[in-house]
């Protein structure tokens, strides 16, 4: 045990005077606020007191105030003992430390540092002597820091820190050469990356090319062509389209587990430009290549969200999806109100629920209701899918908002949109006759519909209302923000049900 037999309290006012008397830089002026003077004095006094071989224990204390620090009544408490205090790195023990300094020893040391003005203001602490544990010598317990622990443990620690969209990863690269080399060798700084905008994509791709492909270990990736903002300049989008595809082909295909991607509008993108063997969760938003001919595969993909614009799904969408991601368990897809994009989704829902009644018979009932017939050919609806996705447990279907031009809307503008929504509702009634009526005054019900058949769940989200075409950009911006917010909540790249599964 080291006994601290003496100590002094130095008032904040004396610290300010000391700072002015010992300022050689000329930066401190007498007319400065006392807060700034005390702050500068504390910083300077702390450095000098810690450097002294005798005055080795310092506690900076503030009495309570409005901001938690009352500078008018602040003081530092100085005692003697070994250099061991709080979380600060303990410096080496002096060659001839004074384990039990006296009041005279500490007073003389303070005078050596310039604290010789108004010595009567140095107070002895009112409490009894403090008992301190001695510092364990380095020979007994060596001092550890991040730079001395094994690389495997350091990488494990940094993997928990670098999950904030890349901010920490960029900072870790700049700490020291050791951390920089660790990032280059393990790719821990790349494991969670948010890349938005064509400029950022170009920089990110250039950085990837400076590393070996197997060390480009991106685990969770959010990539968008222009900060989530759609552009009407289709020619301009071709450059970020190529960069986006190059990034996906450049990263290591063995580590990516979460992919949220927003393709540039106006370009038809492949479902996956390459094969990702570890990918378990994906959000695809943009224009879709219906051929699947150029698509890679994701053998372990379980959660998929597909939001397609301005393109049609292939007639054999279900079969193609089974080949690309055979272990899919959760699928959310949007039934587009335009063209015939809803038909493959309608057939997918029909086979997912294993409805025995032919789909064509269900569709023809709409003629008896006095509603216009579907534009789909009878042949396409007559041929049921050969087999459903065997692993699929939950299918969520949403409906894009219908945007119209002009100041008013006629029934002919919305009748096909309403009809297609009602078709899905009738499928739900085939599974569960207890589902509420699908039509309320000629329009689809706004309620969420959920049915289950043989362990398979079908969820139909409420159809959105009609908005003017001028609001398209606002809607897409909101969807982009929601998409990014969902990805940020995942963080660590582990597969999890996203916010879009919450009813």
Residue pLDDT, tens place only, 6-39: 455 566 666 677 777 777 766 677 777 666 666 6
* Cα(368)–Cα(239) distance, integer angstroms: 51
What is residue 461's DSSP assignment? P
pLDDT of residue 423: 74
pTM confidence score: 0.63
Question: How confident is the model over 228-281, as pLDDT tens digits?
Answer: 444 444 444 555 678 888 899 999 999 999 999 888 766 677 788 889 999 999
Q: Which residues contact 489 (CB under 8 A, 6 or more apart)?
A: 498, 499
Q: Report the percent of the chain where pLDDT is more than 90.
A: 6
Q: Which residues contact 361 (CB under 8 A, 6 or more apart)?
A: none
The yes-or-no verdict on residue 380 having pLDDT over 60 is no
Q: Which residue has the higher pLDDT, 199 or 44?
A: 199
Question: How confident is the model over 51-87, as pLDDT tens digits?
Answer: 665 554 444 443 333 343 444 444 454 554 433 333 3
pLDDT of residue 300: 92
* Cα(277)–Cα(183) distance, integer angstroms: 23
Q: Would you list the DSSP string of 327-379?
A: T--EEEEEE-SSTTTHHHHHHHHHHHTT--S-HHHHHHHHHHTTPPPPSS-HH
pLDDT of residue 276: 92
pLDDT of residue 127: 44
Q: Where are the domains of the chain?
A: 2-132
Q: What is the mean pLDDT of the chain?
A: 68
Question: How confident is the model over 333-356, as pLDDT tens digits?
Answer: 887 655 556 778 888 888 888 887
pLDDT of residue 187: 84
Question: How confident is the model over 190-224, as pLDDT tens digits?
Answer: 888 888 888 888 888 888 898 888 888 899 999 88
The yes-or-no verdict on residue 486 having pLDDT over 60 is yes
* Cα(272)–Cα(245) distance, integer angstroms: 9
What is residue 436's DSSP assignment? P
């Amino acid at each position: 045990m080291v006994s601290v037999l003496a100590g002094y309290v130095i008032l904040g006012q004396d610290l300010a005077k000391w700072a002015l008397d010992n300022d050689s830089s000329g930066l401190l002026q007498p007319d400065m606020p006392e807060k700034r003077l005390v702050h500068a004095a504390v910083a300077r006094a702390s450095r000098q007191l810690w450097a002294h071989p005798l005055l080795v224990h310092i506690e900076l204390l503030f009495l309570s105030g409005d901001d938690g620090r009352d500078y008018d009544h602040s003081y530092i408490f100085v005692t003697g003992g070994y250099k061991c205090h709080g979380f600060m790195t303990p410096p080496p023990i002096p060659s001839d430390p004074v384990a039990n300094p006296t009041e005279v020893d500490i007073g003389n040391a303070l005078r050596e540092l310039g604290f010789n003005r108004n010595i009567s203001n140095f107070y002895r602490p009112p409490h009894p002597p403090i008992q301190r544990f001695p510092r364990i010598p380095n020979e007994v317990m060596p001092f550890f820091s991040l730079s001395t622990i094994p690389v495997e443990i350091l990488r494990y620690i940094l993997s928990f820190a670098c999950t904030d969209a890349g901010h920490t990863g960029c900072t870790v690269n700049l700490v020291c050469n050791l951390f920089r080399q660790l990032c280059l060798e393990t790719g821990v700084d790349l494991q969670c990356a948010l890349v938005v905008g064509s400029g950022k994509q170009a920089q990110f791709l250039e950085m990837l090319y400076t590393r070996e492909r197997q060390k480009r270990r991106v685990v969770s990736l959010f990539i968008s062509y222009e900060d989530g903002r759609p552009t009407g300049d289709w020619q301009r989008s071709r450059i970020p389209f190529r960069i986006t595809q190059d990034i996906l082909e450049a990263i290591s295909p063995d580590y990516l587990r979460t992919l949220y991607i927003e393709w540039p509008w106006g370009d038809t993108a492949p479902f996956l430009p390459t094969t990702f063997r570890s990918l378990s969760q994906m959000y695809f938003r943009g224009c879709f290549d219906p051929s699947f001919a150029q698509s890679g595969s994701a053998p372990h993909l379980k959660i998929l969200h597909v939001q397609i614009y301005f393109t049609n799904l292939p007639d054999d969408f279900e079969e193609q999806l089974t080949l690309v991601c055979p272990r899919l368990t959760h699928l959310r897809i949007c039934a587009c109100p335009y063209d015939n994009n809803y038909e493959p989704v309608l057939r997918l829902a029909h086979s997912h629920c294993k409805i025995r009644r032919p789909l064509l018979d269900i569709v023809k009932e709409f003629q008896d209701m006095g509603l216009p017939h579907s534009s789909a050919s009878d042949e396409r609806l007559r041929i049921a899918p050969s087999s459903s996705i065997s692993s699929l447990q939950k299918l969520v279907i949403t409906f894009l908002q219908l945007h119209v031009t002009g100041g008013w809307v006629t029934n002919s503008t919305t009748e096909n949109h309403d009809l297609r929504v009602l078709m899905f509702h009738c499928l739900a009634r085939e599974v569960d006759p207890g589902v509420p009526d699908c039509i309320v005054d000629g329009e689809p019900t706004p309620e969420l519909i959920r049915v289950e058949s043989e362990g398979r769940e079908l969820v139909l989200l409420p159809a959105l209302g009609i908005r003017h075409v001028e609001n398209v950009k606002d809607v897409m911006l909101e969807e982009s923000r929601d998409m990014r917010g969902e990805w940020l909540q995942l963080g660590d790249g582990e597969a999890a049900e996203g916010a879009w599964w919450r009813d």
